[in-house]
């Protein structure tokens, strides 16, 4: 039977590429985002756009209810909705910090809570959580973003152990640098938060690092997601994108102090 997929954050970047790629490969895809006007072109691929604000419980409930009525169940949930808010921890307001976690963590976990009962009943389900290499390693000027991705990593590990016996797989995707709106949003918040503070020099360096032209297209991650979904025995984690494997390997083999030096060398010049 055709599997029904919900991809959040489907209005751009990895989410949009994933929704299109899965639809092209025979899945029944719902693409969800706040900016529904940016998903109208998805209809030509047979994708059903649906409004979703992951910071509002009523929106999350309505999204899951609509798909359940139309398709019977959500077989595969791809928690991709999220953004990167940058700025020194000293400079970021608690309001902005809470919003970062609300979008990147609590919204994803609330959706997961709602789809699990039907997945359990069906004895089949895939929960794909889009983390980041930033869920394993933390750069300066993005502490709250890293906190959100470290949280997704930990929650995924706990959830994987809780639901495996019900036929549900929990898989983490850890992208490195990818061409998307992510860098633009991160740099906008960086300028607003820390470009005129004591951290200005570091903020300017991070802005240049975020704007690399070497990042691959998001289809790289879309293909990884499909691979993880279709694997008979999926790995717990998949990584791809600019420098992803190198950075994750460094995290495993060098000490914290050596890693600090490696990271801060990127901010020189």
Mean pLDDT of 95-119: 98
Q: What's the pLDDT score for residue 243? A: 86
Mean pLDDT of 228-249: 94
Please identify which of the residues 145, 148, 180, 199 carries the catalytic annotation.
145
CA–CA–CA angle 70, 230, 232 (5° rounding)? 125
Q: What's the pLDDT score for residue 205? A: 87
Please identify which of the residues 136, 149, 228, 238 carries the catalytic annotation.
149
Residue 183 binned pLDDT confidence (cut-offs 50, 70, 90): confident
Reported as a single tens digit per residue, the pLDDT across 26-63 is 999 999 999 999 999 999 999 999 999 999 999 999 99
Q: What's the pLDDT score for residue 212? A: 65
Mean pLDDT of 188-206: 91
Q: DSSP secondary structure string, 154-215? A: HHHHHHHHHHGGGTEEEEEEEE-B-SSSHHHHHHHHHHHHHTTSTTHHHHHHHHHHHT-S-P
Residue 225 binned pLDDT confidence (cut-offs 50, 70, 90): very high
The dihedral of CA 138, 140, 146, 147: what is its sign? positive
Indicate if 145 belongs to the active site. Answer: yes
Indicate if 16 belongs to the active site. Answer: no
Confidence check: pLDDT of 210 > 80? no
The dihedral of CA 98, 101, 102, 104: what is its sign? positive
CA–CA–CA angle 103, 127, 43 (5° rounding)? 75
Give the separation between CA 109 and CA 93, rounded to whole angstroms: 23
Mean pLDDT of 222-229: 98
Give the separation between CA 112 and CA 259, rounded to whole angstroms: 34
Please identify which of the residues 131, 148, 156, 239 carries the catalytic annotation.
131
Give the separation between CA 58 and CA 196, rounded to whole angstroms: 38
Give the separation between CA 14 and CA 222, rounded to whole angstroms: 7
Least confident of 87-96, 119-128, 182-191, 258-267: 182-191
**Domains of the chain, start order:** 4-265 (3.40.50.720)
Residue 269 binned pLDDT confidence (cut-offs 50, 70, 90): low
């Amino acid at each position: 039977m055709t599997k029904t997929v919900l991809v959040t954050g489907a209005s751009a970047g990895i989410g949009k590429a994933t929704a299109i790629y899965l639809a092209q490969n025979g899945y029944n895809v719902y693409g969800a985002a706040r900016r529904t006007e940016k998903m109208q072109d998805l209809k030509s691929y047979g994708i059903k756009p649906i409004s979703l604000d992951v910071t509002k419980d009523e929106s999350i409930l309505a999204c899951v209810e609509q798909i359940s009525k139309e398709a019977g169940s959500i077989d595969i949930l791809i928690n991709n909705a999220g953004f990167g808010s940058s700025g020194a921890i000293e400079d970021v307001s608690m309001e902005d910090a809470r919003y970062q976690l609300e979008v990147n963590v609590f919204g994803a976990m609330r959706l997961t809570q709602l789809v699990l009962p039907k997945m359990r009943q069906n004895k089949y389900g895939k929960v794909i959580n889009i983390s980041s290499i930033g869920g394993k390693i933390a750069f300066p000027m993005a502490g709250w973003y890293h906190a959100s991705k470290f949280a997704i990593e930990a929650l995924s590990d706990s959830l994987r152990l809780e639901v495996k016996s019900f036929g549900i797989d929990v898989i983490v995707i850890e992208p490195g640098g990818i061409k998307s709106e992510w860098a633009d949003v991160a740099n906008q918040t960086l300028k607003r938060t820390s470009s005129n503070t004591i951290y200005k020099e570091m903020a300017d360096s991070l802005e240049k690092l975020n704007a690399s032209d070497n990042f691959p297209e998001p289809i790289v991650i879309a293909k990884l997601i499909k691979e993880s979904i279709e694997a008979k025995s999926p790995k717990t984690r998949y990584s791809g994108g600019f420098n992803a494997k190198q950075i994750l390997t460094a995290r495993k083999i060098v000490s914290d102090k050596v890693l600090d030096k490696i990271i801060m060398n990127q901010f020189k010049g």
